[in-house]
């Protein structure tokens, strides 16, 4: 009897602890948003990624992690290098991984590990030397001319077995040392997968697969999801006659982009098998990152077949266990890139972005505009250690805002703002209220606005928390609130000086007569602090000069703050 009781207790305890583990990190759908939840609460990764060689020594980690904590990060993205964890074939050494987790805990950081396995920026430089030297056993891909590249073949079972065995052991180690505390919250599988120099592998194995039929699974997927496919893919398939069986060139036409689709299918299939093995050891969310196909380059000129937006359906079909495809942003066109990766079937996470002062406002844009789950400048250890560094100020405010941002994700009540010297203005509309949002330097009162200085980007987020109540947060923005009636009125030369008088050479008279109707005024503007439970505490009341005598709300380019704005109507 006693033994049976004990057995039941043990079973119940195990069941409870498995349940608890599962419950700690999970995905949640809220309206149009997908949220990453930790301990039951949606979490935003206010993160940074370490430079490639900064996590290979524990002394560096010990030096860097406290700095990251002081910078206000809550998460760090850290390479886990295959060559370091399996220096001798079949012999694993996870000492460094364990130390990274311990240091992260000591500095209140969560960790996302980046598995630098078979591929890192297309290449196979992180594979252990015993793997590199055995090129017959672990073959490389080839160009059309037969030149081998230092890129392990995704068609080779031996490559997969070696890479996935190490990955599985790594995940098993994480399960053993971290499944209770769950400092590690997500895993990136490989890094910037993709073929360079050639759009696809031209080895005999690859050539023969390229000539064979497109797998039935993919053809069925294309037909089933025809209405939701990425516009690029449906166009390509349609142009080639929308056939439902045949070789890759029969289905998609003959060009380098078909080579890319073929290669994407095989890379993604490889990744799916990696994820399955990894998750069987320890079930954490897993994602892949992509180098962008920018500056009019063709597949092979950029890493062909990576997890790119136009290939999302190929990746989804071949790798359904992936949580998301994430863009690494180093090129111009931030607004465009982020829009490409926030899709109905892909939550936005920026695992890498060039480290620069504008990252502070860009982070706000990612969370405000796209319900992003995280933002992470690259080589974060190089950020200046100053409380005035924009990213430090930004993360401090975003950390405060986390309960409010996550409350409003996916509900059409939140927008992001991002302005520079060219894109200076955005109009938002909710109900009958129009928000005219601009870069702070469109107010010409600060010398830097007009003396030829390069404007820092201005940006933030706006949340409509009630019909006549808003939260505005960020840096370098100014917002006027107008009713529909007054917005229809056009005025000329209505530039006002800081004192509210007509600026030199301008008139403040309307060109049209007022036709009646209500106007919107500011009833109360406060700078606020958001408490951990999402409630607000007023820091100071803003009025007079700080609201241009009731005309607008604003946050200067040197500040990051949160404003609570209440509106009223008058006639
Ligand atoms: C993108 C890669 O993913 C990173 O690991 C790093 O190589 C940066 N590019 C550039 O330094």
359 close to 324: Cβ distance less than 8 angstroms: no
pLDDT at 238: 98
Q: Are residues 471 and 506 in the same domain?
A: yes
Q: Which residue, 392, 408, 424, sits at the end of a domain?
A: 408
Mean pLDDT, to the nearest integer, of 340-359? 97
Q: Are residues 465 and 364 in the same domain?
A: no
What gap in Å lies between CA 207 and CA 478, rounded to an integer?
58
What gap in Å lies between CA 399 and CA 72, rounded to an integer?
8
pLDDT tens string 324-348: 999 999 999 999 999 999 999 999 9
Backbone torsion region of residue 514, taken as left when φ is above 0, otherwise alpha when ψ lies between -120 and 50, otherwise beta: beta
- 111 within domain boundaries: yes
Using CB atoms within 10 Å of the CB of residue 120, give its burial: 0 to 12 exposed, 13 to 18 middle, 19+ buried.
buried
Q: Using the mean position of ligand 1's atoms as its centre, give its distance from the Cα of residue 144 in Å.
A: 27
Q: Which residue, 383, 408, 433, sits at the end of a domain?
A: 408
Using CB atoms within 10 Å of the CB of residue 367, give its burial: 0 to 12 exposed, 13 to 18 middle, 19+ buried.
buried
**Choice from 53, 120, 378 to test ligand 1 binding pocket (greatest atom count within 8 A of CB):** 378
Instruction: Read off the tokens for 12.
Output: 């119940």
pLDDT tens string 457-515: 999 999 999 999 999 999 999 999 999 877 666 554 456 788 888 777 666 666 566 77
**The domain that contains 195 carries what CATH number?**
3.20.20.80
Q: Which domain holds residue 561?
A: 414-570
Q: Using the mean position of ligand 1's atoms as its centre, give its distance from the Cα of residue 68 in Å.
A: 19
Q: Indicate which residue's Cα is closest to atom 9 of ligand 1.
A: 121
Least confident interval from 265-269, 385-389, 392-396, 409-413 = 385-389
Q: Indicate which residue's Cα is closest to atom 2 of ligand 1.
A: 121
- 243 within domain boundaries: no
pLDDT at 499: 83
Which amino acids bring their CB within 6 angstroms of ligand 1? 52, 121, 191-192, 328, 352, 378
Count of structural domains within the chain:
2
Q: What stretches of 244-364 adopt beta strand conformation (E)?
A: 286-291, 324-329, 349-353
- 154 within domain boundaries: no
Q: Are residues 319 and 392 in the same domain?
A: yes
Q: Which residue, 393, 408, 423, sits at the end of a domain?
A: 408
What gap in Å lies between CA 342 and CA 340, rounded to an integer?
6
**Choice from 50, 51, 52, 377 to test ligand 1 binding pocket (greatest atom count within 8 A of CB):** 52
Q: Using the mean position of ligand 1's atoms as its centre, give its distance from the Cα of residue 233 in Å.
A: 27
Q: Whose structure tokens read 């990252």?
A: 359
Confidence class of residue 217 from pLDDT cuts 50, 70 and 90? Answer: very high
Q: Using the mean position of ligand 1's atoms as its centre, give its distance from the Cα of residue 327 in Å.
A: 12
Q: Are residues 265 and 130 in the same domain?
A: yes
pLDDT tens string 15-45: 333 343 445 899 999 999 999 999 999 999 9
Q: Are residues 392 and 420 in the same domain?
A: no
**Choice from 190, 191, 287, 331 to test ligand 1 binding pocket (greatest atom count within 8 A of CB):** 191
Using CB atoms within 10 Å of the CB of residue 437, give its burial: 0 to 12 exposed, 13 to 18 middle, 19+ buried.
buried
pLDDT tens string 133-171: 999 999 999 999 999 999 999 999 999 999 999 999 999
**Choice from 56, 307, 328, 356 to test ligand 1 binding pocket (greatest atom count within 8 A of CB):** 328
Q: Are residues 425 and 532 in the same domain?
A: yes
């Amino acid at each position: 009897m006693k033994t049976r009781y004990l057995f039941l207790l043990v079973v119940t305890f195990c069941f409870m602890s498995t349940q608890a583990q599962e419950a700690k990190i999970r995905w949640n759908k809220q309206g149009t948003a997908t949220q990453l939840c930790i301990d039951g609460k949606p979490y935003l990764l206010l993160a940074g990624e370490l430079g490639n060689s900064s996590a290979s020594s524990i002394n560096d980690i010990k030096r860097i992690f406290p700095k990251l904590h002081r910078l206000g990060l809550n998460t760090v993205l850290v390479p886990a290098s295959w060559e370091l964890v399996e220096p001798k074939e079949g012999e694993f050494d996870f000492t460094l991984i364990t130390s990274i987790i311990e240091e992260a805990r000591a500095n209140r950081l969560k960790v996302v590990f980046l598995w630098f396995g078979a591929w890192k920026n297309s290449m196979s430089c992180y594979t252990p030397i015993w793997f590199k030297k055995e090129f017959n056993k672990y073959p490389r891909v080839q160009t059309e001319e037969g030149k081998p590249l230092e890129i392990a073949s995704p068609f080779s079972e031996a490559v997969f077995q070696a890479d996935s065995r190490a990955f599985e052991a790594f995940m098993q180690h994480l399960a053993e040392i971290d499944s209770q505390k769950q400092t590690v919250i997500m895993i990136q599988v490989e890094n910037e997968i993709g073929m360079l120099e050639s759009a696809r592998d031209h080895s005999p194995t690859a050539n023969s697969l390229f000539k064979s039929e497109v797998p039935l699974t993919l053809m069925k997927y294309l037909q089933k999801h025809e209405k939701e496919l990425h516009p690029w893919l449906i166009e390509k398939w349609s142009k080639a006659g929308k056939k439902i069986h045949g070789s890759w060139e029969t289905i998609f036409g003959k060009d380098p982009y078909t080579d890319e689709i073929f290669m994407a299918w095989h890379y993604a299939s490889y990744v799916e098998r990696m994820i399955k093995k990894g998750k069987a050891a320890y079930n954490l969310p897993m994602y892949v990152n992509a180098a962008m196909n920018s500056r009019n380059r063709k597949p092979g000129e950029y890493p062909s077949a990576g997890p790119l937006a136009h290939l999302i359906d190929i990746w989804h079909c071949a790798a359904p266990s992936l949580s998301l495809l994430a863009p690494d942003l180093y090129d111009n066109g931030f607004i465009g890139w982020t829009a490409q990766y926030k899709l109905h079937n892909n939550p936005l996470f920026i695992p890498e972005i060039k480290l620069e002062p504008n990252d502070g406002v860009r982070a706000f844009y990612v969370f405000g505009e796209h319900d992003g789950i995280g933002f992470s400048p690259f080589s974060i250890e190089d950020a200046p250690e100053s409380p005035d560094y924009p990213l430090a100020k930004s993360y401090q405010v975003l950390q405060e805002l986390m309960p409010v941002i996550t409350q409003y994700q996916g509900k059409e009540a939140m927008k992001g703002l991002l302005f520079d010297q060219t894109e200076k203005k955005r109009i938002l509309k909710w109900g009958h209220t129009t928000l005219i949002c601009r870069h702070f330097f469109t107010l010409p009162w600060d010398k830097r606005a007009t003396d030829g200085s390069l404007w820092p980007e201005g940006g933030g987020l706006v949340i409509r928390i009630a019909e006549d109540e808003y939260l505005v947060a960020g840096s370098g923005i100014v917002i006027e609130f107008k009713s529909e009636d007054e917005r229809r009125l056009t005025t000329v030369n209505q530039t006002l000086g800081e004192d509210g008088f007509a600026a030199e050479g301008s008139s403040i008279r309307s060109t049209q007569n007022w036709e009646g109707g209500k106007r919107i005024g500011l009833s109360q503007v406060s700078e606020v602090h958001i408490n951990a439970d999402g409630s607000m505490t007023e820091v100071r009341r803003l009025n007079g000069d700080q609201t241009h005598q009731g005309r607008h709300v604003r946050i200067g380019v040197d500040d990051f703050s949160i404003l609570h704005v209440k509106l009223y109507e008058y006639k």
